[in-house]
């Protein structure tokens, strides 16, 4: 390794364990000087990239895991009572989900909480959309429009898909809820600022939320025709 190669190595990885590199660092004056300068630069670089992380970041992440842990421990401690309790919870949850209004309420709350999701500047590719729906054993057979946001999300009974589609008339929010069965084929309702519809699908249901009923009517057949349940 010559001086030129030594300098190159400094720019690639100055913390290399290469023996020849370290020999030159100690024995060659020019290399030693270059190494000292490189270390000063590394210090500046480290400081530049080392921005302060939020104080409560770890706690906020751990909190969500801890909640699950607490539930688990409770179940373990009260094993016998839990059998009865779980049965009661399941029966109650089933009743609650079937009770008219509970799914609409879920959608109203979700829309209020998730109104500012990050939208992509361009349309999300059909391949990406297909990948998300594939997790729910659902095939996307055709174009769903200009999808600007897609992500899995919590829905009544399990995980589903939250999607935002951009149309000429504005944004349309869609929730695909594979585990949510409706008591009717369709339910019209309203959120705080928008019109909404729940539509029963071959598997689960779909909620569509938009400014006008016309937008809902326009996108409903697109979803019905292009989602195939495997």
Partner 1 sequence: MKQKERKFDALIGHLSDDLYRFAFWLCKNDALAKDLVQETYLRAWRALDSLKNEKAAKSWIFTILRREFARLFERKVPPISSLDDLDFDIEETKSIGPDDKMEIDIVRDAIMQLDKKYSEPLMLQVVGGFSCDEIAQQLAISKSAVMTQLFRARSKLQTVLTKESKIGKVI
154 near partner 1, judged by CB under 8 A: no
Give the binding range for partner 1 (CB under 8 A) out of 21-29, 65-73, 95-103, 184-192: 65-73
2 near partner 1, judged by CB under 8 A: no
Rounded Cα gap, residues 144 and 225, in angstroms:
10
Rounded Cα gap, residues 91 and 65, in angstroms:
26
Residue 123 in tokens: 């349309």
Number of separate helices (H) and strands (E) present in the chain = 8, 8
62 near partner 1, judged by CB under 8 A: yes
46 near partner 1, judged by CB under 8 A: yes
Give the binding range for partner 1 (CB under 8 A) out of 51-59, 84-92, 162-170, 187-195: 51-59
Rounded Cα gap, residues 183 and 103, in angstroms:
10
115 near partner 1, judged by CB under 8 A: no
Give the binding range for partner 1 (CB under 8 A) out of 85-93, 106-114, 116-124, 181-189: 116-124
Nearest to 175 by CA among 157, 155, 191: 155
> What residue ranges in the chain does DSSP mark as E strands?
138-140, 146-155, 158-167, 170-177, 186-190, 195-200, 205-210, 227-229
- Residues 66-85 binding partner 1 (CB under 8 A) are 66, 68-69, 72-73
Query: Can you tell me which of 4, 26, 80, 122 binds partner 1, judged by CB under 8 A?
Result: 122
The residues, ordered by sequence, that sit 6+ positions from 19 with a Cβ below 8 Å of its Cβ are: none
Instruction: Closer to partner 1 by CB, 104 or 152: give it.
Output: 152
Contact string (CB under 8 A) for partner 1, positions 6-25, x = contact: --x--xxx------------
Direct distance between the N- and C-terminal alpha carbons of the chain, in angstroms, rounded to an integer: 61
Rounded Cα gap, residues 173 and 165, in angstroms:
6
33 near partner 1, judged by CB under 8 A: no
Kindly report the length of the chain.
Answer: 230
50 near partner 1, judged by CB under 8 A: yes
CB of 115 to partner 1, least distance (A): 15
For residue 222, give Cα distances in angstroms to 144, 159, 165, 202, 203.
6, 22, 12, 15, 16
47 near partner 1, judged by CB under 8 A: yes
Query: Can you tell me which of 119, 134, 217, 228 binds partner 1, judged by CB under 8 A?
Result: 119
Give the binding range for partner 1 (CB under 8 A) out of 23-31, 41-49, 89-97, 103-111: 41-49
What is the contact surface with partner 1 in residues (CB under 8 A)? Answer: 8, 11-13, 41-42, 44-54, 57-58, 60-62, 64-66, 68-69, 72-73, 118-122, 124, 128, 151
């Amino acid at each position: 390794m010559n001086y030129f190669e030594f300098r190159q190595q400094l720019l690639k990885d100055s913390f290399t364990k290469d023996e020849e590199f370290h020999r030159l660092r100690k024995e060659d004056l020019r290399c030693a000087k270059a190494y000292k300068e490189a270390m000063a630069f590394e210090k500046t670089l480290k400081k530049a990239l080392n921005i302060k992380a939020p104080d409560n970041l770890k706690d906020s992440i751990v909190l969500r895991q801890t909640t699950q842990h607490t539930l688990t421990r409770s179940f373990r401690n009260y094993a016998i009572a839990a059998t009865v309790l779980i049965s009661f919870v399941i029966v109650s949850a089933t009743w609650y989900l079937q009770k008219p209004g509970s799914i609409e309420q879920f959608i109203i709350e979700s829309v209020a909480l998730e109104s500012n999701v990050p939208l992509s500047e361009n349309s999300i590719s059909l391949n990406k959309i297909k990948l998300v729906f594939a997790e729910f054993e659902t095939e996307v057979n055709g174009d769903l429009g200009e999808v600007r946001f897609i992500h899995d999300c919590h829905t009544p009974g399990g995980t589903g898909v939250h999607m935002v589609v951009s149309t000429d008339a504005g944004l349309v929010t869609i929730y695909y809820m594979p585990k949510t069965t409706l008591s009717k084929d369709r339910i019209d309702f309203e959120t705080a600022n928008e019109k909404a519809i729940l539509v029963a699908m071959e598997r689960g249901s779909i909620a569509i939320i938009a400014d006008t009923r016309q937008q809902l009517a326009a996108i409903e057949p697109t979803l019905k025709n292009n989602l195939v349940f495997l």
